[in-house]
Amino acid sequence: MEPITRLDHIADRLSLKGKSYRVAVAAAEDANTLGAIIRAAQAGFAAPVLVGNKQAIEETARLAGLSLNPDWILHQPDHASSVAKAVELVKEGRADVLMKGLVNTDLFLKSVLHQENGLMPKGQVMSYVCAIELPAYNKLLFVTDTAVLPFPDLKQKEAMLRYSLKMARRFGINKPKVALIGASEKVSPHFPNSIDYALLSKMAQRGVFGDCIVDGPLDVFLACDPASIEIKGVPTPVAGQADVLLFPSLEACNAFYKGLMLFAGGELAGMICGPSMPVVVMSRSESENSKYYCIALSCLMADD
Amino acid sequence: MEPITRLDHIADRLSLKGKSYRVAVAAAEDANTLGAIIRAAQAGFAAPVLVGNKQAIEETARLAGLSLNPDWILHQPDHASSVAKAVELVKEGRADVLMKGLVNTDLFLKSVLHQENGLMPKGQVMSYVCAIELPAYNKLLFVTDTAVLPFPDLKQKEAMLRYSLKMARRFGINKPKVALIGASEKVSPHFPNSIDYALLSKMAQRGVFGDCIVDGPLDVFLACDPASIEIKGVPTPVAGQADVLLFPSLEACNAFYKGLMLFAGGELAGMICGPSMPVVVMSRSESENSKYYCIALSCLMADD
């Protein structure tokens, strides 16, 4: 199958499957969230389960001019019980995707991470992977971690690598090229990430991560610009054609993707990886399109 | 005077001064470097002092089809002596700007940093500031540190702030707005930079850095996008109109600016700050334009 190279093709790929994924929205009384999930339902790939205060959800939809199927609503009196119920639905296999609505992110993630009732397999790392579409790049760029791990250690970097590889492969990229990002290609003790990067590169070479190419440290030019490879003469199998960029810190990845959203016409779809099923947490400042793409991405990743 | 909002206006501003700055190029036998410095000479603001092997410089110019004034050349037999001589010229006030030619960056910087013969005032911090021009931003964006300080501490961040403020003011921005960049606006012990940022914000409020606005942590959206300020309701005097972005790490700043060069049509001018006079070190993968802009920037900053 051809790789997906644009975010609006995710929905097309889902419609080929002809399946509709049950998306449990925790505290659904939020206009933005309702707008995005209704659009996904209309596209045919999402079956909304709107957990929250029935009256508030219906009032929110009415004020936003959104038409809602009342059967989608699963009444819960307050935010705390809505989150608990939505997580329970996913845990029991009665929903395929968990999505945050109008509820504090910390409260929401606390439920996801809850040792007994949550969705995290023991010892699993939680991380965030984004697929970014850029008018100036000839394919999607998967970046991690934009939102969860401040300074990932080796174990966390390995999880980030596995999650982003899984996502890239789900998009039809059979042999993803991963650039482990640094300020340059130099292996230096001033950049302790070099050590982790050398280990990950070597593990990849030994086949630990399946069919893929992993190299780093590489700077963004060597990762994404074939011309820079020629100018600098750095031999790397990533060859300026990276599918995945793995960043050394949340601050670095966050500033990178936000710069591209703002100044390079970027669009994104992102999700939390690590829980047993995909989890969608959308930022208020993401575009309407990005929100819709996040739901589509999570549905694409929901099959195991 | 109106602020300079495009990099090609730096040369216009310099020509108003009607002064030509003596640029000492260390190991000038490099076609790219010669091309950029000759263009600056033709524009009238640079007087090249090409330190290096006379025969090699003339041969390089000939092969590149560049016409050279032989009086510009100051013969030195090898790279080491070329660097030493170029640094000496600047130290003795016989040149206004130091520029790296075809010589290893580490060797070059070792001379700049040399305790007795170098250009660093005692206790001074060396850092790198770039001015970036983006088609999608309504002014220049000054970013630091793209190239020198891996994980700046408070003292180094303070130096980065002073250097970028000085540069922004030299561009005619009387009250620069500085965003201290983090992954979000949250002040959190998970991000130790928060402490440095709070201190710098408070020092700025007390007038330590002159007329300016300094706030952080802010993410790139809150720093550069007025719409995000409205959506998120975060009260910051930077107000999505930042002139300067100060980054918490080299890795973060480096990936940010390279992403914008590659995907957002960015152009840049950058220089090393901290030495007694401006120092230009250009990367091989920078565009011809950027190299020319680096020289113009350094000349603009050469007056004290």
Q: Are residues B80 and B134 in the same domain?
A: no
Nearest chain B alpha carbon to A253: B252
**Residue A231 or B288, more confident:** A231
**Is the CA virtual torsion A293, A299, A303, A304 positive or negative?**
positive
Does residue A288 surpass a pLDDT of 90?
Answer: no
Residues in A touching B225 (Cβ below 8 Å): 262, 285
When pLDDT is averaged across residues A280-302 and rounded to a whole number, the result is 87
- Going from the C-alpha of B243 to that of each of B165, B217, B226, the distances in angstroms are 9, 15, 13
In a domain, B165, yes or no: yes
pTM of full prediction above 0.90: yes
**What's the pLDDT band for A285 if we cut at 50, 70, 90?**
low
Q: Are residues B118 and B148 in the same domain?
A: no
Q: What are phi and psi of B265, to 5 degrees?
A: 65, 30
Say if the Cβ atoms of A255 and B150 lie within 8 Å. Answer: no
Interacting residues of A215 by C-beta distance below 8 A, sequence separation 6+: A178, A179, A180, A201, A236, A237, A238
Q: Are residues A203 and A138 in the same domain?
A: yes
- In this prediction, what percent of chain A has a pLDDT beyond 70? 98
DSSP letters for B255-268: HHHHHHHHHS--EE
Q: Are B129 and B163 in contact (CB under 8 A)?
A: yes
What pLDDT does residue B284 have?
67
Task: Find tokens 């609006």 and name the residue.
Answer: A8
Distance from CA of A212 to the nearest CA of B (A): 23
Q: Please list the residues that pair with A142 across neighbouring strands.
A: A131, A244
Q: What are phi and psi of A278, to 5 degrees?
A: -60, 145
In a domain, B102, yes or no: yes
B interface test, pick of A128, A157, A256 with most B CB neighbours within 10 Å: A256
Q: Are B46 and B295 in contact (CB under 8 A)?
A: yes
Residues in B touching A267 (Cβ below 8 Å): none
Q: Are residues B197 and B225 in the same domain?
A: yes
Say if the Cβ atoms of B254 and A220 lie within 8 Å. Answer: yes
The SS3 call for residue B119 is coil
- A138 Cβ under 8 Å from any chain B Cβ: no
Q: Give alpha helix (H) positions in B44-153.
A: 54-63, 79-91, 105-113
B interface test, pick of A254, A257, A286, A290 with most B CB neighbours within 10 Å: A254
Q: Are B49 and B95 in contact (CB under 8 A)?
A: yes
Say if the Cβ atoms of A259 and B260 lie within 8 Å. Answer: yes
In a domain, B277, yes or no: no
Report how far residue B36's alpha carbon sits from residue B25's, in angstroms, rounded to the nearest whole number: 11
Distance from CA of A128 to the nearest CA of B (A): 13
Residues in A touching B261 (Cβ below 8 Å): 221
Say if the Cβ atoms of B262 and A191 lie within 8 Å. Answer: no
Nearest chain B alpha carbon to A194: B251
Say if the Cβ atoms of A260 and B255 lie within 8 Å. Answer: no
Interacting residues of B115 by C-beta distance below 8 A, sequence separation 6+: none
Count, residues in chain A: 304
What pLDDT does residue B1 have?
77
Residues in A touching B219 (Cβ below 8 Å): 254-255, 258
Q: Are residues B147 and B254 in the same domain?
A: yes
> Residue B60's Cα: distance from chain center in Å?
27
* Domain housing B66: 16-122
Does residue A189 surpass a pLDDT of 80?
Answer: no
DSSP letters for B149-198: -SS--HHHHHHHHHHHHHHHHHTT-SS-EEEEE-SSS---TTSTHHHHHH
Which domain CATH number covers A82? 3.40.718.10
Q: Does an H or E element contain B250, and which?
A: helix B250-263
Nearest to A99 by CA among A26, A21, A41, A32: A26
In a domain, B89, yes or no: yes
In a domain, A4, yes or no: no
Q: Are residues A86 and A140 in the same domain?
A: no
- Nearest by CB: B259 against A147, A193, A260: A260
Q: First and final CA of chain B: distance in angstroms?
A: 18
Q: Are residues A214 and A133 in the same domain?
A: yes
In a domain, A9, yes or no: no
Q: What are phi and psi of B250, to 5 degrees?
A: -60, -40
Q: Are residues B74 and B90 in the same domain?
A: yes
Amino acid at B198: A
Nearest chain B alpha carbon to A192: B150
What pLDDT does residue B303 have?
85
Measured CA angle at B124 (ends B141, B211), to 5 deg? 45
Report how far residue A86's alpha carbon sits from residue A94's, in angstroms, rounded to the nearest whole number: 10
A interface test, pick of B254, B287, B291 with most A CB neighbours within 10 Å: B254
Interacting residues of A189 by C-beta distance below 8 A, sequence separation 6+: none
The SS3 call for residue B199 is helix
Does residue A264 surpass a pLDDT of 90?
Answer: yes
- A240 Cβ under 8 Å from any chain B Cβ: no
Q: Are residues A119 and A131 in the same domain?
A: no
B interface test, pick of A186, A257, A258 with most B CB neighbours within 10 Å: A258
When pLDDT is averaged across residues A45-69 and rounded to a whole number, the result is 96
Last residue within a domain, chosen from B78, B104, B122: B122
Q: Are B98 and B278 in contact (CB under 8 A)?
A: yes
- B228 Cβ under 8 Å from any chain A Cβ: yes
Distance from CA of B241 to the nearest CA of A (A): 13
Say if the Cβ atoms of A183 and B247 lie within 8 Å. Answer: no
Say if the Cβ atoms of A231 and B285 lie within 8 Å. Answer: yes
Report how far residue A254's alpha carbon sits from residue A202's, in angstroms, rounded to the nearest whole number: 27
- A153 Cβ under 8 Å from any chain B Cβ: no
Give chain B's residues under pLDDT 50: none
Say if the Cβ atoms of B150 and A228 lie within 8 Å. Answer: no
Distance from CA of A176 to the nearest CA of B (A): 20
In a domain, A8, yes or no: no
Q: Are residues A80 and A171 in the same domain?
A: no
What pLDDT does residue B26 have?
96
Report how far residue A46's alpha carbon sits from residue B119's, in angstroms, rounded to the nearest whole number: 64
DSSP letters for chain A: -PPP-STHHHHHHHHHHT--EEEEEES---HHHHHHHHHHHHHTSEEEEEEE-HHHHHHHHHHTT----GGGEEE-SSHHHHHHHHHHHHHTTS-SEEEE-SS-HHHHHHHHH-TTTSSPPTTPPPEEEEEEE-TTSSS-EEEE-SSS-SS--HHHHHHHHHHHHHHHHHTT-SS-EEEEE-SSS---TTSTHHHHHHHHHHHHHTTTTSS-EEEEEE-HHHHH-HHHHHHHT---TTTT--SEEE-S-HHHHHHHHHHHHHHS--EEEEEEESSSS-EE---TTS-HHHHHHHHHHHHHTT--
The SS3 call for residue B99 is strand
Q: First and final CA of chain A: distance in angstroms?
A: 18
Look at chain A and report how many structural domains it folds into. 2
CA atoms within 13 A on the CB side of B119: 30
**What's the pLDDT band for A248 if we cut at 50, 70, 90?**
very high
Q: Are residues A142 and A113 in the same domain?
A: no
Mean pLDDT of chain A: 94
Report how far residue B183's alpha carbon sits from residue A257's, in angstroms, rounded to the nearest whole number: 11
Distance from CA of A248 to the nearest CA of B (A): 8
Lowest mean pLDDT among A227-231, A274-278, B73-77, B134-138: A227-231
- B185 Cβ under 8 Å from any chain A Cβ: no
Q: Are residues B78 and B144 in the same domain?
A: no
In a domain, B282, yes or no: no
Task: Find tokens 């030495």 and name the residue.
Answer: B275
Distance from CA of B285 to the nearest CA of A (A): 6
